[in-house]
Structure 1
Amino acid sequence: MKIIAFAGSLRSGSFNKSLLKAAIEEASDSLEIEIFDLDGIPLFNADIETEGDPKRVSEFKDAIRSADGILIASPEYNHGMTGVTKNAIDWASRPGNDMPIGGKPVGILGASPGITGTARSQDQLRQSLKSVGAHCMPKPELLLFRAHEKFDNQGNLTDDSTRRFLGKYLKAFEEWIKPFT
């Protein structure tokens, strides 16, 4: 199964990008996870859309269309999802009759230095995804808290407990996707 994954952060040292890299390491052989970097996707603007999708947006939409499922790793900023994450969903939900994200199975995970992980961000993201017809995996949830203690300076996941849970999460995600493929 082909999975497109993206992090809702543009920061090069993002914990969420590192979490997706760890997901690639922990995924079974039947999951092919490809990370799509959202850098270069402009803020959604209907005037721009009217002129035609920018190249980076077209690449993003094509990646979603060709995927069997989507993994979104989103940090939490100010008790909510990031503007980067919301912007990606906005572009992926256009145009209304042919939105690439509609009907896709989605797994949400996230890493944050905060004690609540990304619980509020994930709740907001689920609401947005529901509104565009995506199918979010309800359980298990992966809300990685105190992320700064679980990755080394090179972005490698060093926490064995988190690594094991990530593997279980990915197995559940693989089962979640099967009815949609």
Structure 2
Amino acid sequence: MDAISGAARDLPNVLDSALAMPDQRLLRPSRRPSHPPRLLMLYGSLRQRSYSRFLTLEAARLLEAFGAEVKIFNPSGLPLPDDAPETHPKVQELRELSAWSEGQVWSSPERHGSMTGIMKAQIDWIPLALGSVRPTQGKTLAVMQVSGGSQSFNAVNQLRVLGRWMRMITIPNQSSVARAYEQFDDAGRMKASAFYDRVVDVMEELMKFTLLTRGISDALTDRYSERKDVAEKKDLAEKEGNSVDLDAM
């Protein structure tokens, strides 16, 4: 983005050099990635008959039909956050999949009016920042939940909060499957219903948002506050006579 020259004179609290003019050209790149959209799916239950896993598998079939490359993380064996080093194989697997993905789907059961600890642990192991890399910033996100009783939105609402905290582009639509034990057959396939139709809607919308934002997520998430922070650190380092590694900022 081009810096705004002179326009910040009436904005005394703004650092002129870090203020940039939004540029439509950056939001219409001449070339977009040509590979299939890469989508990571997380689910929040380890039960043998896990409805959040069944819902994830059904959504994965839809995404593959829409042309995506899909990978599903199995949370079995993932340690609790802070109960193992970051070098733990399951932690490394999850972080590598998150870095690989361009978008994600989070599907959790609602337990005690909340997402499950299994779901939260997966998200907690994905850091907000690794040096200069923000592993989830700019990635698209769809949220879903399954409930044992009547329809509820507690889990998806909490997942939305986490998605925003992880700086993800969370799509407007979402899926909440009530009385999940009635919605899947013995083989774990989701039955035809309005709930199933909503899952189709959500996956279709996720694909559209992923295709729309791929190649421009850096421009979408380029922030004044972060440019200002880098500029101030660079200025301080230069005053102290130190070299500046912008990649580490």
* TM-score of the aligned structures, taking structure 2 as reference length: 0.65
1:133-144, aligned counterparts within 5 Å?
133-138=167-172, 140-144=173-177
Count of residue pairs the alignment pairs up: 176
The match for 1:72 among 99, 106, 116 is: 106
Give the secondary-structure state (helix, strand or coil) at the position aligned to 1:48. coil
The alignment status of 1:127 with 2:161, answered yes or no, reads: yes
Give the corresponding residue for 2:60. Answer: 24
The match for 2:126 among 92, 95, 101 is: 92
Alignment partners' CA distance in 1, 2:54 and 2:109 = 12
The alignment status of 1:162 with 2:198, answered yes or no, reads: no
The alignment status of 1:3 with 2:39, answered yes or no, reads: yes
Displacement after TM superposition at 1:164 (Å)? 2.8
Q: Which has the higher contact order (CA 8 A, sep 6+)?
A: 1
Structure 1 consecutive aligned stretches of length 4 or more whose deviation exceeds 6 Å? none
Alignment partners' CA distance in 2, 1:133 and 1:26 = 25
Alignment partners' CA distance in 1, 2:175 and 2:141 = 13
The match for 2:143 among 108, 122, 134 is: 108
Give the partner amino acid of 1:110: Q
Displacement after TM superposition at 1:95 (Å)? 4.8
Displacement after TM superposition at 1:55 (Å)? 0.7
Alignment partners' CA distance in 1, 2:166 and 2:183 = 33
Q: Relative to structure 2, which stretch is displaced further, 128-137 or 65-74?
A: 128-137
Flag the 1:43–1:149 CA change in 2: closer, same or farther, 3 A: same
Alignment partners' CA distance in 2, 1:23 and 1:112 = 17
Give the secondary-structure state (helix, strand or coil) at the position aligned to 1:152. coil
Displacement after TM superposition at 1:33 (Å)? 2.1
Flag the 1:10–1:101 CA change in 2: closer, same or farther, 3 A: farther
Alignment partners' CA distance in 2, 1:48 and 1:16 = 26
Alignment partners' CA distance in 2, 1:95 and 1:11 = 31
Kindly provide the CA deviation profile for residues 78-108 of structure 1, in whole angstroms up to 9, marking residues without a partner as x.
Answer: 1111111111111112555434223321110
C-alpha root-mean-square deviation of aligned residues, in Å? Answer: 1.8
Query: Are 2:145 and 2:176, in contact at CA under 8 Å, matched by a contact in 1?
Result: yes
Query: Are 2:106 and 2:144, in contact at CA under 8 Å, matched by a contact in 1?
Result: yes
The match for 2:94 among 42, 60, 71 is: 60
